[in-house]
Amino acid sequence: MPTEELRQDAERYLMHTYARTPISIVRGRGSRVYDLEGREYLDFVAGIAVNVLGHCHPDVVAAIQKQAQQLLHTSNLYYTEPQVQLARTLVDHSFAHKVFFCNSGAEANEAAIKLARRYSHLKYGPDRYEIVTMRQSFHGRTMATLSATGQDKVQKGFEPLLPGFTYVPFNDLPAVEAVLTDRTAAVLLEPVQGEGGVHVADRAYLKGLRDLCRQRDVLLIFDEIQTGMGRTGTLFAYEQLGVEPDVMTLAKGLGGGVPIGACLATDDVAAAFTPGTHASTFGGNPLACAAALAVLQVLLEGRVLEQGRRMGDYLAKGLLDCKDRLPIVKDVRGLGLLQGMELTIDGKSVVTDCLARGILINCTVDRVLRFVPPLIIAQREIDRLLDALSNMLSKRV
Ligand SMILES: *Cc1c(COP(=O)(O)O)cnc(C)c1O
């Protein structure tokens, strides 16, 4: 179907929840995708920080093919090997002792919110249910997770919100201290705010949060849905930030493109969930888990993580160099291959210009260009992006 016809049908049959770019992507390979007309694009969006190993990584494709021939689904009424193996591998390589699987980021945060409430409820009674979250955060679009999200535009028109959330500025420890009470069950934050404009949490702030939460038996929950799975240079961002959370959520990169989410926790906290308290029909489905296990095995082998780290440094350096030369660039922030470039102008036209040059990038909170390529991105591919940006932005001064 020609792109224009597809666009018209999409407008007609899909609810208008996205403002889509008018290209139709038909296949992908590594860090590139191809549209219906055969045009090639360098992919610095990667399905919004999802395709950490690039498109169609052979190990992931093989794992999916093999599992599809064997068993697609049976529900959680029975044991399946891919789910248990994936949980074990995640536990072996994180602070956590137990995993709950679901199908998306929002669902992973739903699980974390429910787990925190139940843990506190069982231990301290029904009045202790509040969760402190950050302004400019993003935790999802379900009622509980949009209530957790500290952005008006996500909440507007959906009131009444779920009660029990308190919002404070990001990277502001005294602000958290000021709102913690006997009713506080948890503090929830992203180690690097992604959708909110790429803001990195300071190490001292996280250390302070960790100490504060430990003193009060308040759970520290990291939403690593965007920062996890090697995105920031280590398997999970917390590893390089010097603190361990009590609960962590994953999704996006976890399945390498197959929908899957996870909520990880220490034994003590995870014990709050017992049979009948939380569930998901598809959660931990063998197909999704087989794909995620393949992704994790590639990352644990080490070379891709190392590549991601090097390319993250290289990209950051190149973007900072643009900032030094171009007054239109207000700031450059990020960790690993989650990088943001804040402009003094709206970024939409830059995204469009990049598209015309065969490069997919994304813009968040109007003025922040976000770069989240696959970890296998090559240096010459980053050079292409930097050249294009340099060229375009110098014309706009
Ligand atoms: C994308 C994202 C979510 C929501 O994930 P969905 O799979 O879209 O529900 C939650 N938290 C963070 C940090 C995210 O980046």
CATH number at residue 178: 3.40.640.10
Is 138 an annotated catalytic residue?
A: yes
Query: What's the 296 CA to ligand 1 centre distance in angstroms?
Result: 19
Instruction: Specify whether 204 is located in the same domain as 338.
Output: no
Q: How confident is the model at residue 397 (pLDDT cuts 50, 70, 90)?
A: low
- Model confidence band, residue 396 (pLDDT cutoffs 50, 70, 90): confident
Per-residue pLDDT for 206 more than 90? Answer: yes
Query: Residue 124: inside a domain, yes or no?
Result: yes
Q: How many domains does the chain have?
A: 2
Phi, psi of 384 (to 5 degrees): -60, -45
Considering Cα of 47, then 49, then 51, then 53, what sign does the dihedral take? positive
**Is residue 222 in some structural domain?**
yes
Residue 96: inside a domain, yes or no?
A: yes
Query: Among 300, 334, 369, where does a domain finish?
Result: 300
Task: Output DSSP code: residue 253.
Answer: G
Ligand 1 in reach of 140 Cβ (< 6 A): yes
- Quick one: pLDDT band at residue 117, thresholds 50, 70, 90? very high
**Where do runs of H (alpha helix) occur along 326-374?**
348-356
Which amino acid would we find at residue 72?
L
Which atom of ligand 1 is nearest the CA belonging to 223? 13
CA 245, 252, 233, 99 dihedral sign is: positive
CB 251 less than 6 A from any atom of ligand 1: yes
Domain enclosing residue 17, as ranges = 3-56+302-394
User: Residue of the nearest CA to atom 6 in ligand 1?
Assistant: 105
Question: Atom 10, ligand 1: which residue's CA is nearest?
Answer: 139
CA-to-CA distance for 337 and 232, rounded, in angstroms? 6
Q: Report how far ligand 1's centroid is from the alpha carbon of 228 (Å).
A: 11
343: domain CATH number is 3.90.1150.10
Shared-domain flag, residues 135 and 275? yes
Cα distances (angstroms) measured from residue 391 to each of 65, 73, 338, 341, 359: 43, 50, 22, 15, 14
Last residue of a domain, one of 265, 300, 335: 300
Question: Are the CB atoms for 384 and 42 separated by under 8 Å?
Answer: yes
Structure token pair of residue 26: 């038909």
Q: What is the mean pLDDT of residues 269-279?
A: 97
217 is catalytic: no
**Contact (CB, 8 A) for 272 and 119:** yes
Ligand 1 atom at shortest distance from the alpha carbon of 107: 9
Decide if pLDDT at 241 tops 90.
yes
Cβ-based burial of 321 (10 A; exposed 0-12, middle 13-18, buried ≥19)? middle
Give the position, in ligand 1's atom list, of the atom nearest the Cα of 194: 15
Report CA(105)–ligand 1 centroid distance (Å). 4
Please report the DSSP string for 204-249 in residue order: HHHHHHHHHHHHHT-EEEEE-TTTTTTTTSSSSTHHHHT---SEEE
Q: What is the mean pLDDT of residues 82-88?
A: 98
What's the length of the chain? 397
Give CA–CA dist 380/397, Å, rounded. Answer: 26
Q: Are 63 and 257 in contact (CB under 8 A)?
A: no
223 CB near ligand 1 (under 6 Å):
yes
Closest CA to 167 of 186, 143, 191, 148: 148
Instruction: State in Å: Cα 151 to ligand 1 middle.
Output: 14
Please identify, by atom number, the ligand 1 atom nearest to the C-alpha of residue 252. Answer: 7
Q: Which of 300, 324, 339 lies at the terminal end of a domain, its last residue?
A: 300
Pocket test for ligand 1, best of 149, 200, 252, 362 (most atoms within 8 A of CB): 252
Task: Report the chain's terminal Cα–Cα distance, integer Å.
Answer: 41
Known catalytic membership, residue 348:
no
pLDDT at 156: 98
Place of tokens 């009444």: 160
Q: How far is CA 47 from CA 28, 32, 138, 211, in A?
A: 11, 11, 17, 36
Percent of the chain with pLDDT over 70: 100
Considering the domain architecture, whether residues 49 and 93 belong to the same structural domain is answered as no
Say what percent of the chain tops pLDDT 90. 99
Residue 192 and residue 371: Cα distance in Å, rounded? 13
pLDDT (mean) for 180-192: 98
Task: Please pick, among 100, 138, 165, 236, the residue that the annotation labels catalytic.
Answer: 138
